[in-house]
Structure 1
């Protein structure tokens, strides 16, 4: 039987994540609960053995993520049940998306999802700082007074209003910067968020690849540990730039959408997504 979890279940969800070598932190789960709902199964002992989350945004889109089934409970139809449950809990006008692992693609296609895009997952075991400038731009620390403008820039970039999620993610971030032009107008922003395995760089919103690299460099240059960034498919020039700083391509998971829905129409300024669960 599928049940709806609450923040009281975070300990059990973290245990499931750790057992299956997923990279969620307690702070990640609080962010998920702030913006959506988490469903799943328990066994007879009350242990959580599966999960799936719907992260809902303000206007017309939702991301499905955190689809995990404990190894000894696989091939029992639990993941399929969860997908049906998630889709049943979405309004017909909502555009549903997910970013699929190779292992999960068949399940999602069976549920009615189709591939519409991809993201590029990059890892840096040792970031290489290099002198980098983007003419006409500079970065500074993001302050509370900058958040409303960051939300507006994010909405234009992503294609939907993510205010609730973004405010929580900014609180979660270890580092947050804004990009400004010579007239001191905010043109973008970026976050660095710690997970159990690495530092995730994203979202990164900027008007150009060079400006995005300026944000990334400011976020990354003080870290000596493993970094991760998931780049949007249009960021070809940025891929060359980050590879010059020590990032290496790991894989390119598919972005999938449900039924006849199409991907949200952002303005191509979202260079790095927040995470695969959030888009």
Structure 2
């Protein structure tokens, strides 16, 4: 039985057998993930959970390792009746103590409520994310006269995964091969952008959520190509579009409000550098993302950062 103030040891590894229990917690919190999201997360990441005396999962946290030096923290959930009882601190401690987390820079996208907890755990804000929802019909109406003559768009094929993984790794500074493959299989729409020589220069995956398509990750050389890929998805989607854009990509997010999208939230993206990173460059006052983030135009999801 758990104490009133849970410890990191209260959390155990969850398995695919726990999908329904995790999903029940998601529904309690009103989050939009679908069952397939959880199946993928349990396959590619480390998912921890704490149970009440009846065996119900009441708190969770997960991290997703990328390459050897980076990981994303996500799915920090506490049931409404167990909030403000120490579960948030306990799960963060459990995640940080996990063997797979050692030596990695950890990143996450916080909620406004969660930001103080993450600061206490050693995370610093490095940028913000602009979360937009939009109608594909309205977006198409407002871009009906747009021309993207220099961009060739087509449906992504499985044979394109190698190029997509390469571009994604360049943007993030770490490979996430299995995760991208699984998200490609999950996506209702997957798009690649080619230049005139037939080289793949960008891609976006549109994965289904409840009543939405979440566009991400989106890797692009520029804002015009990013807009072209959004339009490709909008022409084929009958669902509301969601896109979470790093704040530095003003060439895209500054235009979306005039194209039928509404800004819903502006959460902070945070980093917790590993001790290795801190020792290798102690002059850095604020941690920075690895990779070439100017190529990263939309995140995969808040869990995957």
Q: Taking structure 1 as the reference length, what is the TM-score of the superposition?
A: 0.96
Query: What residue number does 1:104 align with?
Result: 114
Q: Secondary structure at the match of 2:255?
A: helix
Q: 4+ runs of 1 displaced by more than 4 Å? A: none
1:82 Cα deviation from its structure 2 partner: 0.1
Q: Which residue of 1 aligns with 2:50?
A: 41
Moved more, 122-131 or 197-206: 122-131
Q: Secondary structure at the match of 1:128?
A: helix
| Structure 2: runs of 5+ lacking an equivalent | 1-9, 279-286
- Structure 2 CA distance for aligned equivalents of residues 101 and 5 of structure 1: 23
Aligned partners of 2:171, 2:258: CA distance in 1, in Å? 25
Per the alignment, residue 133 of structure 2 pairs with 123
Aligned partner (choices 258, 272, 276) of residue 298 of structure 2? 272
Q: How many residues align?
A: 279
* Deviates most, 30-39 or 79-88: 30-39
Higher helix share: 2
Moved more, 135-144 or 168-177: 135-144
5+ residue gaps, structure 1, are none
1:53-89 deviation per Cα after TM superposition (whole angstroms, max 9, x unaligned): 1111113110000000001011211110000111111
Q: Deviations over 1:252-271 (max 9, x none)?
A: 10011114553223251110
CA 1:181 to 1:235, structure 2 compared with 1: closer, same or farther past 3 Å? same
Does the residue aligned with 1:190 lie in a helix, a strand or coil? strand
Name 2:87's counterpart in structure 1. Answer: 78
C-alpha distance in 2, partners of 1:264/1:52? Answer: 23
Q: Deviations over 1:191-236 (max 9, x none)?
A: 1111124210111111110011111110122323321100012210
- Structure 1 residue 34: deviation in Å? 2.2
Distance 2:172 2:192 in 1: 17
- Provide the rounded CA distance (Å) in 1 between the counterparts of 2:211 and 2:82: 25
**What is the match of residue 244 of structure 1?**
258
Contact 2:60 2:75 in 1 (8 A): yes
Any conservation in 1 of the 2:247–2:253 contact (CA below 8 Å)?
no
Q: TM-score, normalised by structure 2?
A: 0.88
Residue 257 (structure 1) aligns with: 271
Preserved CA contact (<8 Å) 2:60 2:77: yes
- Could you say what secondary structure the match of 1:44 adopts? coil
Q: Which moved more, 1:45-54 or 1:213-222?
A: 213-222
Question: Is the alpha carbon distance of 1:225 and 1:267 closer, same or farther for their aligned partners in structure 2, counting shifts above 3 Å?
Answer: closer
Match of 1:16 in 2: 25
1:268 partner SS: helix
Q: Which residue of 2 aligns with 1:173?
A: 187
Tell me the C-alpha RMSD between the 2 structures: 1.4
> What residue is the counterpart of 1:220 in the other structure?
234
Q: Deviations over 1:85-119 (max 9, x none)?
A: 11111444201011000000011111111111111
Which secondary structure does the structure 2 equivalent of 1:75 belong to?
Answer: coil
**Matched-pair contact (CA < 8 Å) for 1:95–1:262:** no
